[in-house]
Amino acid sequence: MRDFTLKSYRSLLEAFQSAGYHFQTFEELMTAPVEGRSVVMRHDVDELAWNALKMAKLEHALGIRATYFFRVVKQSNVPEVIERIARMGHEVGYHYEDLALAEGDEGNAIESFKSNLAYFRGFYPVRSVCMHGSSTSRYDNRLLWKNHSLSEFGLVGEPYLSVDFDKVYYMTDTGYAWDGGKYATRDIVESPFELKFHTTQQVVECINAGQFPHHALILAHTLWTDSLFQWNYLHFREFLRNHVKLLAKNNRLVAKLYGKLVDAYWKK
Ligand SMILES: [Zn+2]
């Protein structure tokens, strides 16, 4: 059976609900965390914004509120999608990459961060931001916080800076697998939990068996799709991308070429 479809996404959400988990937004986790079992669904909308809308609708139909982080690039920043997602009661946050876009210039990065944040606040009273990995850039977007604080901008949290991952289990669907973390470059989290999943079905079985951690933050990108054509295309692309990323770790020429390709892809 195909995994990472809307159907398998639904099975994951329903497993959590049957096991008594409460779905919180990231903002709620920061400001008013619930006592009992809880899970935050965090969506980094790197691209394919219309897929995000489909996931948002599915969650909404199940009475779930999730958190969607949008980038400024056109593949993510689709006003109609952001508007509709906010209207369903989901949280909207800013998936920032200002330092990478400003080529490391801190002053320019802070200025663009401010104006982009204001832009997204036109859709939703944004209180959370989350860095984009910018895997091919030399600049780590989190360095924006070296001389600045979240509260300066009226923000309450940043997943990579504000969460105690000793208490909250972190899981991500990087590269169409729940154990694809080895392909990640910056979006890595140290975790003490001894759990390993590959398929969504394995996660569901763990939840059903009562063995899943009581608090979790789950990053799901927007690659979940029921369309056979898109699913095949994305699987092939992710397969290629993962292998090129691994190669690029040890080969500067491959890294450079890959960086150029990625830059060209995101050009506005
Ligand atoms: Zn991202």
Q: Is 26 among the domain residues?
A: yes
Q: Which residue has the tokens 């949280």?
A: 91
Domain that holds residue 136: 6-225
**How many angstroms does the Cα of residue 11 sit away from the middle of ligand 1?**
25
Q: What is the distance between the alpha carbons of residues 168 and 164, in angstroms, rounded to a whole number?
A: 6
Q: What is the distance between the alpha carbons of residues 146 and 169, in angstroms, rounded to a whole number?
A: 26
Whether residue 148 has pLDDT greater than 90: yes
Q: What is the CATH number of the domain that holds 160?
A: 3.20.20
**How many angstroms does the Cα of residue 31 sit away from the middle of ligand 1?**
24
Whether residue 251 has pLDDT greater than 60: yes
Neighbours of 111 (CB within 10 A): 13
Top-confidence residue, 158 or 176: 158
Whether residue 211 has pLDDT greater than 70: yes
Say how many domains are in the chain: 1
Average pLDDT of the residues in 242-251: 82
**How many angstroms does the Cα of residue 210 sit away from the middle of ligand 1?**
31
Share of the chain above pLDDT 70, in %: 98
Report the pLDDT value the prediction gives residue 39, as an integer from 0 to 100: 98
**How many angstroms does the Cα of residue 132 sit away from the middle of ligand 1?**
4
Q: Is 268 among the domain residues?
A: no
**How many angstroms does the Cα of residue 63 sit away from the middle of ligand 1?**
26
Backbone angles phi, psi at 261, to 5 degrees: -60, -45
Whether residue 268 has pLDDT greater than 60: no
Q: What is the distance between the alpha carbons of residues 152 and 266, in angstroms, rounded to a whole number?
A: 30
Token pair for 157: 């949290």
Decide: 113 and 152 in contact? Cβ < 8 Å.
Answer: no
**How many angstroms does the Cα of residue 18 sit away from the middle of ligand 1?**
30
Whether residue 182 has pLDDT greater than 70: no
**How many angstroms does the Cα of residue 208 sit away from the middle of ligand 1?**
30
Whether residue 183 has pLDDT greater than 80: no
Decide: 16 and 44 in contact? Cβ < 8 Å.
Answer: no
Whether residue 153 has pLDDT greater than 90: yes
**How many angstroms does the Cα of residue 256 sit away from the middle of ligand 1?**
20
Whether residue 40 has pLDDT greater than 60: yes
**How many angstroms does the Cα of residue 89 sit away from the middle of ligand 1?**
22
Report the pLDDT value the prediction gives residue 249, as an integer from 0 to 100: 80
Whether residue 255 has pLDDT greater than 90: no
pLDDT, averaged across the chain: 93
Share of the chain above pLDDT 90, in %: 76
235, amino acid identity: H
Q: Is 262 among the domain residues?
A: no
Q: Is 192 among the domain residues?
A: yes
Top-confidence residue, 116 or 177: 116
HEC per residue, 170-237: EEECCCCCCCHHHHCCCCCCCCCCCCCCCCHHHHHHHHHCCCCCCEEEEECCCCCCCCHHHHHHHHHH
Q: Is 231 among the domain residues?
A: no
The tens digit of pLDDT for each residue in 5-20 reads 999 999 999 999 999 9
Q: What is the distance between the alpha carbons of residues 214 and 132, in angstroms, rounded to a whole number?
A: 27
3-state secondary structure of 242: helix
Q: What is the distance between the alpha carbons of residues 104 and 138, in angstroms, rounded to a whole number?
A: 8
Look at residues 162, 134, 150 and name the one whose alpha carbon lies nearest to residue 30.
162
Average pLDDT of the residues in 228-245: 89
**How many angstroms does the Cα of residue 34 sit away from the middle of ligand 1?**
27
The tens digit of pLDDT for each residue in 60-69 reads 999 999 999 9
Report the pLDDT value the prediction gives residue 239, as an integer from 0 to 100: 86
Backbone angles phi, psi at 194, to 5 degrees: -95, 70
**How many angstroms does the Cα of residue 188 sit away from the middle of ligand 1?**
12
Give rounded-to-5 percent helix, strand, coil for the chain.
Answer: 45, 15, 40
